[in-house]
Amino acid sequence: MVISSSNSYSERNPDLVKINSANKIKLNRFTQNGQIQIYQSSYRGSYSSIIRDSLRNAALGRKVLLVQFMKGGVKQGIANAVKLCGNLTWVRPSDSFDKYNSEEIEDNKKLKKSIYESINKLWSFCKKELTSGENDQIILDEIFLAIEMKIINKDDLISTLENRFISGDVILTGTSIPKDLLLMANQITELRS
């Protein structure tokens, strides 16, 4: 390790400019903007590392919202969000695709409508959370599948991301990602098997 005092460094480097206190510029501190991160995979169910990281972040004191658009469970929905580590809120739709087989959904218009409405209700909740500034991290798991299935409007997602409270990170996951969303990302990660 090299230790150097500022005086000896400036003596050896005449290109440095000495600033006297009368000429100092007052600098304003600014907060760091949150990032948009995209995780892409060729198959569903490959995002366990993101869920693991969200738990770790919550345990470290960050407020995290994890939303799984295409997975459901027993007594899920916004009203029955799961709270973990004191800081992680895990939400799934009250009705979802993974409870039924695809033929059953296609043959039953009432069931399909219920699933779509449940996912749209979850998306409305997410839009409020994205603009609230209350979360340090928001994970929108499989949102691109919801866009591909025309449950969530791509332009609505883009507009919401552009108008979000920008100090928190947003993580988006999916298999096929629209190009205009790729262009918004600060980081793109492709997960491979």
Average pLDDT over residues 73-88: 86
Say what the pLDDT of residue 159 is. 94
Task: Evaluate if residue 1 carries a pLDDT over 50.
Answer: no
Q: Where are the beta strands (DSSP E) in the chain?
A: 36-41, 64-68, 82-84, 88-91, 137-141, 169-174, 187-191
The tokens for 154 are: 């791509």
CA 157 to centroid of chain Cα atoms: 12
Average pLDDT, the chain: 81
Average pLDDT over residues 98-124: 85
| % residues pLDDT > 90 (the chain) | 41
pTM of the model as a whole: 0.78
What is the dotted CATH code of the domain comprising 35-191? 3.40.50.300
Say what the pLDDT of residue 4 is. 38
Say what the pLDDT of residue 193 is. 67
Domain segments of the chain as ranges: 35-191
Average pLDDT over residues 160-166: 88
Secondary structure (3-state) at 84: strand
Supply angle C-alpha 139, 64, 152, rounded to 5: 30
Range with top average pLDDT, 14-18, 134-138, 167-171, 178-182: 134-138
Range with top average pLDDT, 27-31, 97-101, 124-128: 124-128
Say what the pLDDT of residue 106 is. 79
Say what the pLDDT of residue 30 is. 41
Supply angle C-alpha 69, 49, 117, rounded to 5: 0
